[in-house]
Amino acid sequence: MDIELSADDLKFRDDVRAFFKAHEYKPGQDYAQWRLDWFKAAREKGGWDVPKWPKEFGGPGWSPTQHYIWEQETARANLPWDLPFGVGMVAPIIMNYGNAEQQERFLPDIRARTVNWCQGYSEPGAGSDLASLKTKAELTADGKHYIVNGSKIWTTMAHIADWIFCLTRTDASGKKQEGITFLLFPMKQDGIEVKPIITLGGSHSVNTVHFTDVLVPVENRIGEEGKGWTYAKGLLAHERTGLAGVSRSLVALEKLKHQAGTVKRGNGSLLDDPSFRAKLAKLEVDLQALEFTELRSLARAASGQQPGPESSILKLKGTEIQQRIAHLTMEAAGPHMAPWGGIHVGPKFASGGTQSYLGSRAFTIYGGASEVQKDIIAKNVLGIRTQGGSN
């Protein structure tokens, strides 16, 4: 056992830090331009704009340890905004299952961040049970187009997206996982209606999307008709065993400690309050453990082994801890968690804390609710055959 980073890894870390420093956003700069320039510069570093892409598609080909270092450093740096749907989600599917023409057509814009994507998976009746989706795609008589009808829900950033990658049903006769087809199409066209859903914190990022006779050329289909579930599932599994966000949580916890230190209690601060301290300490204990769970998982991947059982708990534990940090931040604000509507009263972090807490409730719902994740672990990791479960 050895937990030291190698000399090469340390050099890589310094290199990452130097890059972030050299390309920091400077107040007054045109943000949109800085953002595109940043990705360009990262690209010139050898694929740092697409860390997880395979080498043959221009990725950096990092080791798992290098990925981990990158995640640690990005948690502390102020990177340009980046939606996960393009580079992180649709691109791997296009790389794995799309044809050369589709790769040529879509990947460059995705990589340059000039085209925004959204994900059309969940439907009003198909949440955790995603495979029961009903949005219909029918082939026209001439076989040149699909006609898409139906509704998607929780579609993040659909209101700004240029394109959608969408799971549709082309055949309802067999098992629900069969007959699902993976289509790509532009959002700005007749027959697509986007309606905002306002979430608990009062903000708008998710939407419902309705399709009425939307025409999609067959050349926008990824892979074979009816195989869309297989393509999407591979990515979902990849998402679920992703990292636990430990670096970000460590940064958030540090910030919380600092914030609690600014809340006066008697002659000291909230950090002197025994019950608050105990909750902070408990969070730190759990994060210390999770950090090493993540490292154990990583070490296995680094040596080319299959993910071990420990990797299955990363998302569950990670999101739970993120929620607890958000809750404790709100609690630190005391009576000042309540003032709302852009008003700043009491400690500086107060209104943001409540907003983050409300937002954090979705962490254990989207991308597969925690209950479903546990079913999957029960089956795949513990080998339990469940009765009528979700898998």
Partner 1 sequence: MNFDLTEEQQLLEDSVARFVADNYALEKRIKLAGSSRGFSAEHWQTFAELGWLAVPFDEDDGGIGGGPVETMVVMEQFGRGLVLEPYLATVVLGGGVLRRTLEGERRAELLGKLIEGKLQLGFAHSEEQARWDLEDVVSSARQDGDGWVLNGAKTVVYNGGNADLLIVSARSSGGQMDTDGISLFLIDPKTKGVEVQAYPTVDGLRAAEVKLTDVKVVAAALLGAAGKAWPIIEAVADEAVLALCAEALGGLEVLYKDTVQYTQERQQFGHPMTDFQTVSHRLVEMFMEYEQCKSLLYRATMEYAQNGHEAARTLSACKHLIGTAGKFIGETAVQLHGGMGVTEELRLGHFFKRQLVIESQFGNADFHLEKFAA
Stretch that binds partner 1, among 21-29, 119-127, 165-173, 236-244 (CB under 8 A): 119-127
What track of x and - describes contact with partner 1 for positions 10 through 39 (by CB under 8 A)? ------------------------------
Give dist(CA 237, CA 91) in Å, integer. 16
Q: Does the footprint of partner 1 cover residue 340 (CB under 8 A)?
A: yes
SS3 call for 53: coil
By the rule CB under 8 A, 352 interacts with partner 1: no
Binding residue (CB under 8 A) for partner 1 from 162, 178, 239, 331: 331
Q: Determine the Cα–Cα distance for residues 313 and 309; give it in Å rounded to an integer.
A: 8
Which CB atom, from 61 or from 125, has the smaller least distance to partner 1? 125
CA within 13 Å, CB half, 162: 9
Minimum CB separation of residue 179 from partner 1 in Å reads 16
Could you give the C-alpha distances from 80 to 23, 25, 119, 272, 362, in angstroms and in order?
Answer: 10, 8, 21, 37, 23
Residue of the chain from 33, 275, 303, 305 that contacts partner 1 (CB under 8 A): 275
Please report, as residue ranges, which positions from 142 to 181 form the binding site for partner 1 (by CB under 8 A): 153-154
Catalytic residues: 239
Residue 326 C-alpha from the chain's centroid? 18
Greatest alpha-carbon pair distance for the chain in Å reads: 80
Q: For residue 210, state whether it binds partner 1 (rule: CB under 8 A).
A: no
Residue 214 beta carbon to partner 1: minimum distance, rounded to whole angstroms: 23
354's tokens? 């409540």
Token digits for 265?
């209690």
CB of 132 vs partner 1, minimal distance in Å: 8
Q: Taking each helix axis from N to C terminus, what angle separates 314-332 and 350-360, rounded to the nearest 10 degrees?
A: 150
CB of 52 to partner 1, least distance (A): 26
Nearest distance in Å: CB 313, partner 1: 17
Q: Does 268 bind partner 1 (CB under 8 A)?
A: no
182 DSSP 8-state letter = E
Q: Does residue number 304 form part of the binding site for partner 1 (CB under 8 A)?
A: no
Let me know: does 286 contact 321? Beta carbons within 8 Å: yes
For partner 1, the binding residue among 6, 144, 282, 366 (CB under 8 A) is: 366
Q: How far apart are the first and last CA of the chain?
A: 37
**Helix 370-380 with 314-332: angle, nearest 10 deg:** 150
Q: Is 338 one of the binding residues for partner 1 (CB under 8 A)?
A: yes
If the CB atoms of residues 42 and 118 are measured against partner 1, the closer one turns out to be 118
Report whether 245 contacts 204 (CB < 8 A): no
341 binds partner 1 (CB under 8 A): yes
**269 is written with which tokens?**
């601060």
Least separation, in Å, of the C-beta of 256 and partner 1? Answer: 16
Question: Within its chain, how far is the Cα of 376 from the centroid?
Answer: 19
Residue 343 amino acid letter = I
Site residues, partner 1 (CB under 8 A): 122, 125, 127-129, 132, 153-154, 197-200, 202, 206, 263-266, 273-276, 327, 330-331, 333-341, 343, 345-346, 354, 357-358, 361-362, 364-366, 369-371, 374, 388-390
